[in-house]
Structure 1
């Protein structure tokens, strides 16, 4: 395993990985996991945060998540062109340093408004980390090889949503809820050391376009006028709204609907585990079957599963024994959609991978969080409005994919021999 390089994954001529494959996958997953850690670790603390600051509205605690996601979205549009022009390593180290500082700063917030501002700033820092993580992968590979590696990354990455709520709940057994944010600062320090010692610059100087407004505008114009890139970015922005709505409302769902507050972290981990298994499955089948065949089929499955769960809750009542298996299968679909949509969107972009990664990240965070907020804010003590929202998001995503593919699903346009 340690001697495996990118040539093992993709026959195309690309630079060798700068480290063993297992370490590269782990590093990219850890960079992306800083974002998941910043969202999931404090989920068990949301109720305590609401009580500590005396929040009056039932869903106001969700703003701890959405303030961070709001900061996470748009700045990616800036970090992308900058990283394309000056390189990856300096930018990511600066962003991780700021992420670390804001993690510790959250502990000192004296009001809920201050906490939300700091969380917004922390999201900005995390946005740069996410852009660089995807850009580094695209610097070294593309196509199905990228989809496979990103699936491996997501398989490792999903360990964080499985463990993070338990980590947060464990911390709260010995320390106040503020330390669920302190963990983020500690994680940032460890990540800075790893990258400093092991990750070289992956974008050669000769491949960097000059940094100027005109060049950035031209790069974004290329992104927005590339049909496949724009289509799969928009489709991802819609379908990922379901993921954000789940993260924001999950603690309330399991506490208020199913009376499982004490075991919430276990139920949450089960969903994340299903996602991780699906990501690993995708890494095993995508190079053989193709990104479009896999993701289009599973998107239809997402819609059907969400619809069946909605009808089951209406017909039989909100019973966990029915809801949970269907819900886990629904969210497992993300493991077979996310990496493939990302690879499809990034494949045509080549040297402007940073810009493309930034635009894709904006769609799957800022736009997705808006849809997620629309769905999560409908929570009224019942899961039915949320499940109905998932059906709507799935149908919206399907329409965008149909438009992008000119009405053709399950195609093999990602095959090398395909011509538009």
Structure 2
């Protein structure tokens, strides 16, 4: 496979090695995961510091972040087609740092949520534009392979993020977590500025034309196969969001794990990290669709088993059984994320910026709405989580069947090689 190369002529920066390219964009994209998960161990401290009468309100700090991402994803994709990928990512990280500063200095829930919303608005840029940048350089199975390796680190970060947050709480209060997030944003920015060439050549950029954006957005949302993959991504992300909102209560309230919560959180998430690495090894040989079918089948089986166990055992199966069924679910998620993203972006290479924007925002919006709806049924048992997994995976299975029929009917021939640079 060829190394990522520069799309613009005469630029002074050399192309990164594949390993550094993967490491850089895993670091940049992991800002999203770290922002969501590092604060989980601090929920109780934050609720006490802000004198909340209803401690469940502190869960809104995750929802506020995702809400900001939904809006940011709609903006930064088209912007990156106009000003380039690097400038868009750096602008977003600057906004993210501002949001972190506001959250760090908040003394009321409202100000904290404002900071989190601004964080989400900013972090949408690296989350969305990075996909467009990868699409500038790769397509088909090659793109799925690169995205899978990026997802390994992207998923390892949330595995360790609660432990990181717990360590910060040993030396400072919850505000220090936001200071650490600001520092990571600065480090990622410097790395991007000094090492990664721009991938969108000036001659390939668009002027900002509202009519063109509306026309392209309409094309994307009317592309039924792309919308099926986007819906699948949203359903998968909804399952992850549901788990994030419930995980602290499940492990500490139901299973009384105390300070060991980050360890059990990491065990669950470890399945997804292993799957992303496995996917990177297998996707070039087996193809994206075959691996997606395997992942959906495994996830649906494990989710139904978890729901049955919870129903038969009074809503709270033993911790060992919960982990044994949860790890395969997360393994399936790891197989799904990279492949679904690549399949959604594959037909839209000529409009990668706005395509990434539209698909990412729809994915996040779907995840927020569905996770909030199912999360409202949380009753201090595992049943709502397991039921959510069953519902989301069953719907994703139907969407994959539909997309597969469309793919065959369209007689679309996919070029599964890395483009020459």
Classify the TM-score, shorter chain.
Answer: over 0.9
The answer to whether the Cα contact below 8 Å between 1:49 and 1:61 also exists between their aligned partners in 2 is yes
TM-score, structure 2 normalization = 0.92
TM-score, structure 1 normalization = 0.92
**Counterparts of 1:19 and 1:415, CA distance in 2:** 27
2:201 matches 1:181: no
**Counterparts of 1:155 and 1:278, CA distance in 2:** 8
Q: 1:93-145 CA distances to partner (integer Å, 9 max, x unpaired)? A: 11111211221221110101110011001100011121111111001011000
Question: Structure 1 residues 168, 200: closer, same or farther in 2, change over 3 A?
Answer: same
Q: 1:24-80 CA distances to partner (integer Å, 9 max, x unpaired)? A: 001110111111111111110011111222223352121011111110113211211
Question: Structure 1 residues 6, 188: closer, same or farther in 2, change over 3 A?
Answer: closer
Question: Structure 1 residues 414, 396: closer, same or farther in 2, change over 3 A?
Answer: farther
Structure 1 stretches of at least 4 aligned residues deviating more than 6 Å after TM superposition: none
Q: Is 150-159 or 218-227 further displaced after alignment?
A: 218-227
Structure-to-structure mapping, 1:370-409, within 5 angstroms:
370-406=369-405
**Counterparts of 1:143 and 1:344, CA distance in 2:** 7
**Counterparts of 1:186 and 1:416, CA distance in 2:** 40
Q: Which residue of 1 aligns with 2:260?
A: 263
Q: Which residue of 2 aligns with 1:325?
A: 324
**Counterparts of 1:295 and 1:316, CA distance in 2:** 31
Q: 1:6-35 CA distances to partner (integer Å, 9 max, x unpaired)? A: 59xxxxxxxx98201111001110111111
The alpha-carbon deviation at position 366 of structure 1 amounts to 2.0
Structure-to-structure mapping, 1:2-401, within 5 angstroms:
5=3, 18-317=15-314, 318=316, 319-401=318-400
- Aligned to 1:399, the other structure's residue is in SS state helix
Question: Structure 1 residues 377, 349: closer, same or farther in 2, change over 3 A?
Answer: same
**Counterparts of 1:158 and 1:17, CA distance in 2:** 28
The answer to whether the Cα contact below 8 Å between 2:98 and 2:118 also exists between their aligned partners in 1 is no
Gaps of at least 5 residues in structure 1 are: 8-15
- Aligned-CA RMSD value: 2.1
The alpha-carbon deviation at position 416 of structure 1 amounts to 4.5
**Counterparts of 2:406 and 2:125, CA distance in 1:** 35
The alpha-carbon deviation at position 196 of structure 1 amounts to 1.0
- Aligned to 1:158, the other structure's residue is in SS state helix
Gaps of at least 5 residues in structure 2 are: 6-12, 417-421
- Aligned to 1:337, the other structure's residue is in SS state helix
Q: Is 36-45 or 95-104 further displaced after alignment?
A: 95-104
Q: Which residue of 2 aligns with 1:10?
A: none
The answer to whether the Cα contact below 8 Å between 1:86 and 1:208 also exists between their aligned partners in 2 is yes
**Counterparts of 2:44 and 2:171, CA distance in 1:** 17
**Counterparts of 1:407 and 1:299, CA distance in 2:** 18
**Counterparts of 2:236 and 2:159, CA distance in 1:** 21
Paired residues, number? 406
Q: 1:184-239 CA distances to partner (integer Å, 9 max, x unpaired)? A: 11111111111111112110111112211011012112212223212101221122
The answer to whether the Cα contact below 8 Å between 2:136 and 2:200 also exists between their aligned partners in 1 is yes
